[in-house]
């Protein structure tokens, strides 16, 4: 699963992101968040017609049919294996997909509740002018738009999860779907609406794509949001 992540997109990474994904516009500058928690705003790439935009969503999908934005129905994660079984998720998969850039995500080891940070592994051969896909993780997500009876409006999102790969498995049996640049092209195509074809994209990323290190338990509190959250520790 994914219950906490970091979205610390540096200026040069944002420029690469805009260029490589051919993003036409963004609502505003991405806010630095070292400890993104459910219900907080996250930046995500969406498509509208032939264009792509970087905009903001509340993390925690609120179904359009919900009478209120209650946490009872709000989901931060959606399982890839069952995403076609419920109309709300299936419709979002076919029509409202998004791509969520992240510096990495946190997971807690079950045996001792020790948090770890999972990030994009860089090899010694990775050049300085590498693609943004060599620097960040890109989660597959779905979005929803909720309108309240009082005229209020909330756009929300959820991260799609899949089975853990070998790197992730010592920490948890689930992980976010992390898309390669090639898979992203299909994911962000508005005219691509083949259910099984889309679900086929939702698989674990290659084992050597990611690595992990332990971090301070301060990250367990949503009140802590600083670069200290990302610093490796010795255990």
Q: How far apart are CA 99 and CA 187, in angstroms?
A: 8
Residue identified by tokens 């779907």 is: 177
CA-to-CA separations, 158 to 109, 128, 148, 165, in angstroms, rounded: 23, 32, 20, 20
Q: Is the dihedral of CA 31, 133, 39, 166 positive or negative?
A: negative
Provide the token pair at 33: 């968040």
Active site residue 128: no
Per-residue DSSP letters for 66-128?
-SS--TTT-BSEEEGGGTTTSHHHHHHHHH-EEEEEESEEEEE-TTT--EEEEEE---TT--T
Among 37, 41, 98, 34, CA closest to 222? 37
Q: Which of 2, 98, 205, 229 is catalytic?
A: 2
The three-state secondary structure class of 12 is helix
Q: Which of 107, 135, 157, 205 is catalytic?
A: 107
Active site residue 2: yes
Is 47:189 a contact under the CB 8 Å cutoff? Answer: yes
Residues with active-site annotation: 2, 107
């Amino acid at each position: 699963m994914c219950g906490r992540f970091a979205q610390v997109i540096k200026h040069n990474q944002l420029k690469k992101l805009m260029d490589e994904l051919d993003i036409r516009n963004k609502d505003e500058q991405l806010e630095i968040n070292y400890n993104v928690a459910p219900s907080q705003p996250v930046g995500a790439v969406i498509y509208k017609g032939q264009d792509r935009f970087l905009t903001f969503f509340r993390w925690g999908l609120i179904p359009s049919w919900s009478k209120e934005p209650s946490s009872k129905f709000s989901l931060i994660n959606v399982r890839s294996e069952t995403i076609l079984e419920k109309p709300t998720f299936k419709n979002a998969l076919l029509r409202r997909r998004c791509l969520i850039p992240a510096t990495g995500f946190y997971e807690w080891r079950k045996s001792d509740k020790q948090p770890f940070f999972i990030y994009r592994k860089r090899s010694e051969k990775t050049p300085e002018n590498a693609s943004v896909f060599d620097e960040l993780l890109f989660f597959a997500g779905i979005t929803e738009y909720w309108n309240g009876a009082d005229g209020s409006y909330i756009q929300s999102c959820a991260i799609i999860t899949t089975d853990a790969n070998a790197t992730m498995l010592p920490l948890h049996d689930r992980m976010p779907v992390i898309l390669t640049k090639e898979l992203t092209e299909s994911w962000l195509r508005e005219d691509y609406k083949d259910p099984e074809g889309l679900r086929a994209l939702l698989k674990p990323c290659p084992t050597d794509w990611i690595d992990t290190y332990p971090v301070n338990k301060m990250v367990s509190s949503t009140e802590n949001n600083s670069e200290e959250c990302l610093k490796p520790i010795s255990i």
